[in-house]
Copies of this chain bind each other. A is one copy, B any other.
Amino acid sequence: MVNVAILGFGVVGSGVAEVLTGNVGQIDRKAAESIRLKYILDVREFPDSPFADKFVRDFSVIEGDPDVDIVVETIGGVRAAKDFTERALKAGKSVVTSNKELVATHGYDLLRLAEEHGVSYLFEASVGGGIPIIRPLNQCLAANEIEEIAGILNGTTNYILTRMIRAGLSFEAALKEAQQNCYAEQDPTADIEGHDACRKICILSSLAFGRHIYPDQVPTEGITGVTLADVAYAASGRCKIKLLGRCIRREDGALYVYVAPHLVPDENPLSGVEDVFNAITVKGNAVGDVMFYGRGAGKLPTASAVVADVVDVAQHRRSRSSLRWGPGDPKAVVPAAGLSSAWYVRAALPAAAVGKSFGDVTFLTREGAPEEECAFLTAPMDQTALEKALAALGAPCVKMRVLG
């Protein structure tokens, strides 16, 4: 018998309770153990919940109960969540979480703490919601030197961009619609400014490359600057605009890691990922390109990933699961400006003025473009070369990388 305590009865926490009890037959068969929900920690009262008898308000009840084997942390944020996680690990309990902010900012310390206490700290649900990505990256691709990761890591922004592309909504209108459909929070900053995607690419990069990559090492640009004009120009070049988190290993082992909107060519499988779906492509030196696709958020998909980690801990009670990476290193990440790629440029000047600065480019078109506007795709160049050529244009410009 394995006893579980859930911290925080919000969307994910209540989903975990639902999956743990609703799919109990399947789960016990996979775990070859009985997994039972013993406690739910929340400060609120849920008198009508089917789990009403499991609620406690004091974490020390869970901390002090030697029968609790696994703590599921679905509180979010880095305050109480960090304190409770540390105390649970120190008490010899494995911790499973969907908390990307905590993993991205304190993952190295928490993984070490887990190792010291002979327990596991698992976070499959922290990236890609229900999509299996953490375990496949860690185990199934273990034979590969990873060369590159690129992902549509945030469902809210992908929904907004899809509505801009498919329905011609402005960014503001699409955001409002996303909020009405509960795909965006009332304060959407973490999503639309790219912070959520940043945390996720940090976690994937840390796991793939063995060093903690911190959010403050990762230049992050959201989608608030993307306009319908850019969407239309991209379409004329057979591309879709997607917010990507990327990590690319330079030959010397240094990493480019950043988050920004990109033009993704239609033939790339990421371009077909729509609405709230997420997808992550990984390039390994043996396997080539693989992609993982599914619902990147939501109550039950995220709970599915959390409970998979619970099953993993139950299966391996005598040998802790082995996620691990090394400490951070300020020199591990180099400025993304050095990464060469083709670029999309929209400039407030006629097409004829471009050739002198950029040489051969591919011009894009859109209906209703003003005369004093052009947009084009450049040859591959790094950002320093791009900025120099843009400066020579002497006009306001919008730029985005093209995914190569």
Contacts and interface: CB of A to CB of B under 8 A. Distances in A.
Interface of A: 15, 19-20, 23, 26-27, 29-32, 124, 130-132, 135-136, 138-145, 210, 269, 272-273, 284-295, 298, 300-301, 303-308, 310-312, 315-316, 318-319, 322
A29 B32 CA distance: 29
14 contacts: A23-B285, A32-B322, A132-B139, A135-B135, A135-B139, A141-B304, A143-B305, A143-B306, A269-B273, A272-B272, A288-B298, A290-B294, A290-B295, A316-B319
B294 A288 contact: yes
Contact of A27 (B142, B273, B292, B298): B142
A306 to B, nearest CB: 8
Nearest to A26: B145
Nearest to A290: B294
Contacts of A303: 143, 286
Contacts of A298: 288
Which one of A138, A142, A295, A315 has the greatest number of beta carbons of chain B within 10 Å?
Answer: A142
A26 B303 CA distance: 31
B144 A140 contact: no
B140 A136 contact: yes
Contacts of A210: 29
Contact of A312 (B139, B286, B301, B304): B139
A286 B143 contact: no
What 4 A-B pairs have minimum CB-CB distances, sorted nearest first? A132-B140, A143-B307, A290-B294, A130-B287
